[in-house]
Amino acid sequence: MPKPHVLIVGAGLGGLTLAQVLRKQGVSFEIFERDPSETSRTQGWSLSIHAVLADLVASVPDDMPPFRESVSALHPIKLEDQVVFYIDGERFGATDSSERPFVRANRQRLRSWLATNIDVQWGKHLNKVEQSDDKVTLFFQDGSSASGDVLIGADGTNSVVRENILGKSNKDILKYIPISTITAESIILTGEAFARQLEVAHSFTFVNIDADRIIVQGIVRSLPATSETEAGGEFHWILMWRDPLMQHVERSPVDALSAAQRLEIARSMTKSLPEPLTHLLRHTRPEHVRPHGWAVRDAVIDALPLSRATLLGDAAHPTSPFRGEGAVNAIRDAMNLGAALADLSRRHEAGTQAVRDALAEYQAEMVPRGVNVVSGARAQFGFFRNEFQKVRIMGHPPEKLQWEKVEVGSEGVKVTPLEG
């Protein structure tokens, strides 16, 4: 029997990871993406790659560029990644180390790294999927089609492949989480202002305002010094608060307000925080505030039918970001699925039963893990003071961190731990 030819819909984090795993294993595949090009749409801010870090690097071909240098939001600034939680004036978190390595990756840099030597077919909007006993066929808006032995839906939260597999509309699958948000981005800090923000957290911080409100802040990318400018960074923040109305609507009422009004609301909601934690807001101007907030959706998908198609990443387990595990689980999905498909290829199997058996084994592990990821992320929003012991940072309890003094100069960044 012929080797399986794999069709991947979605060239995001999960789809491209799968493509690289298949490329290394010599498995035939095509990958399709609705975006017109790699840079046609912003990829968002940054994310944490942690538990699967070593396995990811080992699973991709040897011709890939160095991982950390290629994807790190901090690079080329020489500073350890750091995720920090602030609760009741205490500083907790995790710092990248040999014992617990992680990378805060810039999303655009990560996507570019994963696209290395991958022939993505851009501008492919999926219209319809047809399955028969011996193949699966995709039909795109531009009139083209493609056929293969296995279909992988890696097309994100609004997955068209998922709608086809489950026979349900995404409107019936996805649920809005009851929070409203105000977001700001493209905030450039240099010199002393940059150093002060690095003292809050090198990479990302999660600040508990009270039981119902949080604000997260993070670096999107570093900006190395030039002959005309000091070293600095581009930052973003997201203010989130419980809002039962958001379970029923897509847009928060605050979206109707002007950017200046929403910035004033954000400053008012965070006025109880000490100065270091409001530093980034003080450097925010109305033009940094996005036109609308971020509607957070997830879904508990506890079963998938067996066929020639399956899902990975947010298509399989769309999750909220409150535990920082979405990217890691998408990568884990891709590596596990890639191994299953490589085994089919080595056995030259593409028959219906062989494909279903391989996907059944993959789904038996992936589906319950995905349910746990979604449920755990839901539970962590607005971590309550009396339940802090339940908080997890990249799968581990947070450790108490020292406060720091950060200096940025011509020789780089110097970090001095402070007593107390």
Tokens 């219906």 -> residue: 352
Across-strand partners of 222?
Answer: 233
How far apart, in Å, are the Cα atoms of 68 and each of 49, 76, 102, 383? 10, 10, 10, 31
pLDDT surpasses 50 at 1: no
Per-residue pLDDT at 231 exceeds 90: no
Percent of the chain with pLDDT strictly greater than 70: 95
Residue 408: how many other CB atoms lie within 10 Å: 23
In a domain, 371, yes or no: yes
- Specify the 3-state DSSP secondary structure of 28: coil
* Whether pLDDT at 360 is above 90: yes
Give the residues across from 147 on adjacent strands.
137
Predicted confidence (pLDDT) per residue in 38-50, tens digit: 876 665 789 989 8
Domain assignment of residue 66, yes or no: yes
Does 131 fall in a domain?
yes
Residues 154 and 250 in one domain: no
Sheet holding 29-32, edge to edge: 120-121, 29-32, 6-9, 150-153, 309-311
Longest dimension (CA), the chain: 68
The continuous run of DSSP H or E covering 222 comes out as strand 213-223
**326, 362: one domain:** yes
225-229 long-range CB contacts below 8 Å, 24 or more apart? 225/410, 229/190
Mean pLDDT throughout 226-248? 86
For residue 227, being part of any structural domain is answered with yes
Same domain (yes/no): 327, 281:
no
281 and 402 co-located in one domain? yes
**Residue 13 included in any domain:** yes
Tell me the three state secondary structure of residue 149.
coil
Q: Give the whole-angstrom CA distance, residue 316 versus residue 307.
A: 15
Mean pLDDT in residue range 74-82: 91
CATH number of the domain that residue 183 is part of? 3.30.9
Q: Same structural domain for residues 236 and 198?
A: yes
Task: Please tell me whether residues 132 and 274 are part of one structural domain.
Answer: no
Whole-number Å distance between alpha carbons of 203 and 401: 14
Same domain, 369 and 307: yes
CATH of the domain at 13: 3.50.50.60
Structural domain boundaries, residue 256: 45-106+178-295+384-420
Given this model, what pLDDT does residue 272 score?
92
**Cβ atoms of residues 58 and 150 within 8 Å:** no
Q: What is the mean pLDDT of the segment spanning 207-236?
A: 87
Instruction: Give the number of domains in the chain.
Output: 2
Would you state the pLDDT for residue 168?
A: 95
* Mean pLDDT computed over every residue of the chain: 90
Shared domain for 182 and 244, answered yes or no, is: yes
Q: Are residues 282 and 144 in the same domain?
A: no
Predicted pLDDT at 384? 45
Cβ atoms of 300 and 375 within 8 Å: the answer is yes
CB 375 within 8 A of CB 368: no
Average pLDDT over residues 267-286: 95
Predicted pLDDT of residue 386: 52
Residue 102 has pLDDT above 60, yes or no: yes
Residue in 373, 293, 298 with CA at minimum distance from that of residue 333:
373
Percent of the chain predicted with pLDDT > 90 = 66
Distance of CA 187 to the CA centre of its chain: 20
- Residue 382 scores a pLDDT above 80: no
Q: Looking at the structure, do residues 319 and 170 belong to the same domain, yes or no?
A: yes
Residue 375 lies in a domain: yes
Task: Verify that 373 and 346 share a domain, yes or no.
Answer: yes
User: Is residue 383 predicted with pLDDT exceeding 60?
Assistant: no
- For the chain, helix (H) and strand (E) counts, in that order, are 11, 21
The pLDDT assigned to 111 comes to 94
Q: Region 66-90: what's the mean pLDDT?
A: 90
Q: Is residue 1 part of a domain?
A: no
Look at strands 6-9 and 150-153 and give their pairing. Answer: parallel
Within a domain: residue 155?
Answer: yes
SS3 200: helix
Name, of 3-17, 237-251, 403-417, the range with top average pLDDT. Answer: 3-17
Determine the pLDDT at residue 396.
74
**Structure tokens given for 296:** 């957070």
> In whole angstroms, what is the distance from residue 82 CA to residue 335 CA?
26
Q: What confidence tens digit (pLDDT) does each residue in 394-410 have? A: 767 778 898 999 998 87
For residues 274-288, one letter each, b for 16 or more C-beta atoms within 10 angstroms of the residue's C-beta and e for the rest, the string is eebbbbbbebbeeeb
Q: What is the DSSP string of 41-80?
A: S---SEEEE-TTHHHHHHHS-TTSPPHHHHHBSSTTS---
> Where in 243-383 does DSSP place strands (E)?
297-298, 309-311
Mean per-residue pLDDT for 330-337?
A: 97
The answer to whether residues 340 and 353 belong to one domain is yes
Which region among 172-176, 210-214, 252-256, 409-413 has the lowest average model confidence (pLDDT)?
409-413
Q: What does the radius of gyration of the chain's CA atoms come to, in whole angstroms? A: 22
